[in-house]
Amino acid sequence: MSDFECFAFFCEDFRTEVGGKTSYMGVLGPRINLEPSDDDAPPDAKGVIAKLVVVAMIRTSKQGDIPLKVDLFFENAPDGIVQHIKSDHVLSVSGERDENLAQFHAQMPHVPAHPGMKIVVNFKVGGQCFSTSLLMDGPEASTPTTRRRRG
């Protein structure tokens, strides 16, 4: 096994269970289809995803503190949205097994739900890079393909 085997994803929520295990709810694929906002929705709820969590899982044979670098990018974001956020974290890994699982999750509340916007998160651990992305798709989203009208 290499020092690190990594993967990442987005989900809607997480919770820590009795015994310390983490459960992830509403695991998302590479795109989310945005439906038009309900006219009765409160103004601060329109155009945002109520809760979005990015998750990184790292399986490793290493013990101790493991530095994790995170780069978050908002591509094609609405005006006023920060385009890039960098952060450094330390994951503590301990255990008596040959392989251990380190988990990182960060909640991103009130993410703008702008059709055509893409959220990209790049991770770096022990010289290894991995990433995940989420495309906001919807009725106003531009697509790279050309559609023909049938008439």
User: Partners of 105 in the beta sheet?
Assistant: 55
Give the pLDDT confidence of 41-95 residue by residue, as tens digits.
666 556 667 688 999 999 998 888 999 999 999 898 877 778 889 999 999 888 7
pTM as predicted: 0.80
Query: Which residues touch 70 (CB under 8 Å, ≥6 apart)?
Result: 56, 86, 87, 88, 89, 104, 106, 121, 122, 123
% of the chain residues with pLDDT over 90: 41
Q: Distance between CA atoms of 92 and 84, rounded to whole angstroms?
A: 26
131 has pLDDT over 90: yes
Separation between Cα atoms, residue 70 and residue 83, nearest integer Å: 14
**Average pLDDT rounded to a whole number, residues 21-48:** 76
**Residue 147 predicted with pLDDT over 80:** no
Band (pLDDT 50/70/90 cuts) for residue 96 is confident
Give the separation between CA 147 and CA 59, rounded to whole angstroms: 43
